[in-house]
Structure 1
Amino acid sequence: MTQILSLEKVAMRIASFVGVRGLGLGLAAWVGMSATLAAEAGLSGYQGAWVLEGRDCAEVYSSGGKGTSFKKPLDIFAPAFIVSGNRLRTPMASCRIKSVRPTGDRQILALDCANTVAANEVTVLMAIAPNGVLRRYYNDQDPTGTTYQRCSGK
């Protein structure tokens, strides 16, 4: 009888541990999902295909049934990118946008990027101007940034 009681206590402790562990994993998943949703919410103005101002969108992008994509053959040096959901793609890399944080009139995007040879974290400073163009800044002291025009999206 004593063995049965101690086995029941062990089972209860295991159930309690698993429940707490499961709650922790559930909270971690919820926090991760919340961060992703927050990043996507902060990205609404960035959605679409962008190219350096002055370049022709038709030289870089093609439109198809699934939306806009980079034209083939791929110009790996094209100053262009596509934001779709929480993904940012360039001709050579694919990035997951981990977070979007405001800093003054700009936003800091934290990215996890990968290409055919490496993966790394990248920080980008950008802002949507009142006239609808996007400016990418090299650092906090950059007063003008580089201007991109929207080719499709939003």
Structure 2
Amino acid sequence: MSVVGLRSVRLGLVLAASVAVPGAMAAETGLSGYQGAWLIQGPSCAETYSTAGKAVSFRKPVDIFAPAFIVAGNRLKTPMASCRIKSVKPAGDRQVLVLDCANAVAGSEVRVLLATTPDGSLKRYFNEQDTTGTQYQRC
């Protein structure tokens, strides 16, 4: 095969790979500000999370009612569900995350509105009309 032929094959493989994972790449690029463990003020991070090396997980026994979640790569975990972040899209000063979530009972698509704040915290909004949001601190 000629050099031109090899370049064409390489270009085709690169294009095929980029078409195969656009949602995952888009989700990860929009998630850099959300990476880590998040918790509503009240319980301490040490009560909710444990660490092993660089990995953070929920402390056992897991408090299923803990107002907390962990974002790692394109995954979001709550005490009761594990989600794959399918997409991240801007919506004004917020971002809409579309999640594919599963728990012990069922799976469903979930839409979440999030925004980072100047002090480094995060706000979750219940819908577009919610102007207050719920504030989370990074642990």
- Normalised-by-shorter TM-score class: 0.7 to 0.9
Hey, what does 2:25 align to over in structure 1? 37
1:30: how far off? 3.0
1:53: how far off? 2.2
Hey, what does 2:110 align to over in structure 1? 122
Q: Deviations over 1:53-105 (max 9, x none)?
A: 23311110011125211000110010000000000000110000000000000
Q: Count residues in correspondence.
A: 126
| Mapping for residues 55-70 of structure 1, pairs under 5 Å | 55-70=43-58
Tell me the SS of whatever aligns to 1:116: coil
Q: Which runs of structure 1 show a deviation greater than 3 angstroms over 4 or more consecutive aligned residues?
A: none
One of 30, 38, 56 as aligned partner of 1:50: 38
Gap runs ≥5 in structure 2: 1-11
Superposition TM-score, scaled by structure 2 size: 0.86
Identity across aligned pairs (percent)?
66
Hey, what does 1:19 align to over in structure 2? none
CA distance in 1, matches of 2:110, 2:22: 21
CA distance in 2, matches of 1:32, 1:127: 28
Structure number with greater Rg is 1
Q: Does 1:84 align with 2:76?
A: no
Superposition TM-score, scaled by structure 1 size: 0.78
CA distance in 1, matches of 2:27, 2:20: 11
CA distance in 1, matches of 2:20, 2:129: 32
